[in-house]
Chains A and B, each alone.
Chain A
């Protein structure tokens, strides 16, 4: 046990950073994830297939390609990156925020899929009933739709978190592998495997990574079951 928890400061940093990056990626993807899922589940518009394809792109492309595209768009000289840096002071390149962006983008299709499925399963008659009781569309969404899709929301969030914990290719391509700034668990493990005598560290971080992922999965199961029981849908 001591061997497992006796981490060097760099290793601790990697663990902390990974959790921070994954949490931020998950939380930041939720609002756009819900919006896009709603659009795909219910919207009727030209270009819906295109949007659907775009959302799924990170799932199909090699992660390195996604990372490189992010670098082109959100790098210091990229159009989006320059705009955000100039107007909002948000810098992605070689920062932990960039790692979060890469992780969020990579997990986005998984999150949207889960939420979209749960939205499609919502009985729209419930929403109509709420409307006749005086709730405007925004209230209907907040008090009926959102609670009914909560299990899908949790599933989508956990998938995004788990994907972020494991993301490697896009992150290392986009923001490199800087200890304390962009070196997440997978990057740290990769680094260990590249240096002589790094086996111990690689194994330690691997085990920690397994524990965190399992904990997230168990937490989502418990949460989803509790929500399901509260709703008592037979």
Chain B
């Protein structure tokens, strides 16, 4: 399963010139507003016709302006979840869900109503009208509606952007289940580092209509310089970890990663479960000797592999901790005082309390406030 997009398009005074290819489970199109990501996804869905270029999904050519191919939207079998849900107001939730199923050839229907209802937890809503649903419920029904058309590819256009934090936390686990329990590849548009780091297997980073980076999430998210400025504080290393054990006495969970053990606030997950965590660069301190008499619990030994200037007085330091790269944002003054240079042996120090609901892949609340 793969998606290939190679298009150029002009919209008034805005030009998009983008090429990417992805075979990931969940590919995030990531960039600030105005970077062209929604335009791209609309082109894949067939809602916008690109001036020039080619779009392929799973080897099937949907657009090839050179050969005069443009498959109309209703023949693409590509599901779309819109930011504003767009449930049909004159139909019940059940009729909304069944709408796309109706137009799918019986032989190609793989999505089952009961399974999707169960997956998204929308059983109690089936007889309601869309106007009577909360924002989070609407979005879950919209996801279900797209799924039940048995699409070859599912597009999600900032499905969480119009929701508050509590509603986001309500939906994220469902999207994770979607990614992990179904076989439909997903292309997900977002401008939030937290969402992308948590959900994406692959990232295509966009700025002003151009692709600035693409590849596996762990690699792309290292490029702090490419993040939109308002999201830069959220940037950092993304690590895939496993729950090792819970420390009940102190209400903590111990995660195992390539970099070593990492202690985070208690996660409601079974030992052995996979957790993806994001260590914000601004939360990481660097020590040249193993610190003692320090409250921070996570001390990861490593080697400096990158030093690059950051914004203002900062530098960004990449530390290779046994194969996993941790990013630290420190001041140039500190770098000089510690005489940090490439190849230097250091310790990356991370406070347990710097982990919260937004940067541990846990859908469940960690306490009173995340």
Partners in one complex: yes
On A, residues with C-beta under 8 Å from B are 123, 125-126, 128-137, 139-140, 143-144, 147-148, 230-234
Contacts of A133 in B (CB 8 A): 74, 79, 99-100, 103, 145-146, 149
- Which residue of chain B has the shortest Cβ distance to A231 in the bound complex? B90
Contacts of A139 in B (CB 8 A): 103
Contacts of A130 in B (CB 8 A): 88, 99
| Distance (whole angstroms) from the CB of B129 to the closest CB of chain A | 4
Q: B80 interface residue, CB < 8 Å from A? A: yes
Known contacts A231-B89, A231-B90, A232-B132; A132/B80 CB under 8 A: yes
Q: B79, A132: Cβ atoms under 8 Å?
A: yes
Known contacts A133-B145, A233-B131; A144/B88 CB under 8 A: yes
Q: B90, A230: Cβ atoms under 8 Å?
A: yes
Q: B104 interface residue, CB < 8 Å from A? A: yes
Interface range for B: 20 to 34
Contacts of B84 in A (CB 8 A): 125
Q: B131, A136: Cβ atoms under 8 Å?
A: no
Cα distance, A147 to B129, chains bound together (Å): 15
Contacts of B129 in A (CB 8 A): 231-232
Which of A131, A134, A139, A231 has the most chain B CB atoms inside 10 A of its CB?
A: A134
Contacts of B102 in A (CB 8 A): 134
Contacts of A230 in B (CB 8 A): 90
Q: A147, B90: Cβ atoms under 8 Å?
A: yes
Contacts of B73 in A (CB 8 A): 128, 131-132
Contact of A129 among B78, B80, B131 (CB under 8 A): B80
| Distance (whole angstroms) from the CB of B146 to the closest CB of chain A | 7
Contacts of A234 in B (CB 8 A): 131
| Distance (whole angstroms) from the CB of A81 to the closest CB of chain B | 42
Q: B77 interface residue, CB < 8 Å from A? A: yes
On B, residues with C-beta under 8 Å from A are 45-47, 72-80, 82, 84, 86, 88-90, 99-100, 102-104, 129-132, 145-146, 149
| Distance (whole angstroms) from the CB of A224 to the closest CB of chain B | 14
| Distance (whole angstroms) from the CB of A17 to the closest CB of chain B | 37
Contact of A132 among B45, B130, B132 (CB under 8 A): B45
| Distance (whole angstroms) from the CB of A121 to the closest CB of chain B | 12
Cα distance, A232 to B145, chains bound together (Å): 19
| Distance (whole angstroms) from the CB of A197 to the closest CB of chain B | 55
Known contacts A148-B90, A231-B90, A232-B89; A129/B82 CB under 8 A: yes
- Which residue of chain B has the shortest Cβ distance to A133 in the bound complex? B100
Chosen A-B contacts, 25 in total, with CB atoms closer than 8 Å, are A125-B82, A125-B84, A125-B86, A128-B73, A129-B86, A129-B88, A130-B99, A131-B72, A132-B78, A133-B74, A133-B79, A133-B100, A133-B103, A134-B74, A134-B149, A135-B99, A135-B103, A136-B74, A144-B88, A148-B89, A230-B90, A232-B89, A232-B130, A232-B132, A234-B131
Contacts of B104 in A (CB 8 A): 134
Give the 4 A-B residue pairs with the shortest CB-CB distance, closest first. A134-B103, A133-B100, A232-B131, A129-B86
Cα distance, A132 to B72, chains bound together (Å): 9
| Distance (whole angstroms) from the CB of B93 to the closest CB of chain A | 12
Cα distance, A123 to B85, chains bound together (Å): 13
Contacts of A231 in B (CB 8 A): 89-90, 129
Q: A128, B47: Cβ atoms under 8 Å?
A: yes
- Which residue of chain A has the shortest Cβ distance to B80 in the bound complex? A132
Known pairs A129-B88, A131-B72, A134-B74 / 8 extra A-B pairs, C-beta < 8 Å: A126-B86, A130-B99, A132-B146, A133-B79, A135-B99, A148-B90, A232-B129, A234-B131
Cα distance, A135 to B103, chains bound together (Å): 6
Cα distance, A129 to B73, chains bound together (Å): 10
Contact of A135 among B74, B76, B82 (CB under 8 A): B74
Cα distance, A231 to B100, chains bound together (Å): 20
Contacts of B149 in A (CB 8 A): 132-134
Contacts of B82 in A (CB 8 A): 125, 129
- Which residue of chain A has the shortest Cβ distance to B150 in the bound complex? A134
Which of B73, B99, B100 has the most chain A CB atoms inside 10 A of its CB?
A: B73
Contacts of A126 in B (CB 8 A): 86, 88-89
Q: B47, A132: Cβ atoms under 8 Å?
A: yes
Cα distance, A134 to B100, chains bound together (Å): 6
- Which residue of chain B has the shortest Cβ distance to A147 in the bound complex? B90
